[in-house]
Amino acid sequence: MTDYIRLDKALSNMGAASRKEVKEAVKKGKILVNGIPAKSSDIKITAADELIINGILLKYKKYEYYMLNKPAGVISATTDSKEQTVTDLISGKRKDLFPVGRLDKDTVGLLIITNDGALAHDLLSPVKHVKKTYFVRVEGRIQTETENIFSAGIRIGSEQFQPAELVILKNDEVSEAEITIYEGKFHQIKRMFEAVGNRVIFLKRLSMGNLRLDDSLPEGDYRELSEEELQQLKYRQ
């Protein structure tokens, strides 16, 4: 089934022009659809159509998918009156982009930015149990029994956490580990470690589902997902 969208809405979503600007550009003959001047701003187009606006070639995409290496100090939101948001980092962004889930302000690493609500719901749904792996650095030594405590599913107060996988990488005054969780409760990893006597001092998401953060992507940078990476997200084993 072909998905149609109004020309003005498509260009507005893509951040190419406001609906008012599209209407004015159409009147002046500055928007071409497949080489033909658009007759009105509300004509229907598809992803197969070629658009030229003010001499610039565009290709409408219904969905866009980005891998962002989130830096510290940026919040996982679309807009904020005081703080810089993760979508602010996407230059020339379309207006309907949003982060899939959230990372705490001081947490870094993999964050997916998209406008595909169905995929986001699938990745975040508690019943899907999508795995998320983090690198964590904590104060103090991690007791060996912590692996068993986490794998059994730790209980904190009245809240029960699902089983998690812990791999200790370094055990010293400052210890390092990788932890894989299958849910995304508020401050979950920090609370889990605090419950066993370790304070988290650094947290980085390494992967979500089968998608792993590109090691060559600097903090604060982003890129579009490849088709292979997108399939890794959509079809998980």
Q: In 3-state terms, what secondary structure has residue 26? A: helix
User: What pLDDT, in 10s, does the model give residues 126-138?
Assistant: 888 899 999 999 9
Q: What is the pLDDT of residue 237?
A: 44
Closest C-alpha to 94, from 9, 198, 208: 9
Q: Distances from the Cα of 195 to the Cαs of 135, 149, 161, 216, in angstroms?
A: 18, 10, 12, 34
User: What is the overall mean pLDDT for the chain?
Assistant: 93
User: What pLDDT, in 10s, does the model give residues 162-176?
Assistant: 999 999 999 999 999
User: What pLDDT, in 10s, does the model give residues 176-209?
Assistant: 999 999 998 889 999 999 999 999 999 999 999 9
User: What pLDDT, in 10s, does the model give residues 55-108?
Assistant: 999 888 889 999 999 999 999 999 999 999 999 999 877 888 999 999 999 999
The answer to whether 223 and 217 are in contact (CB under 8 A) is: yes
For residues 94 and 50, give the distance between their C-alpha atoms in angstroms, rounded to a whole number. 18
Contacts of 128 (CB under 8 A, 6+ apart): 122
Which residues are annotated as catalytic? 104
* Encoded tokens for 146: 């912590």
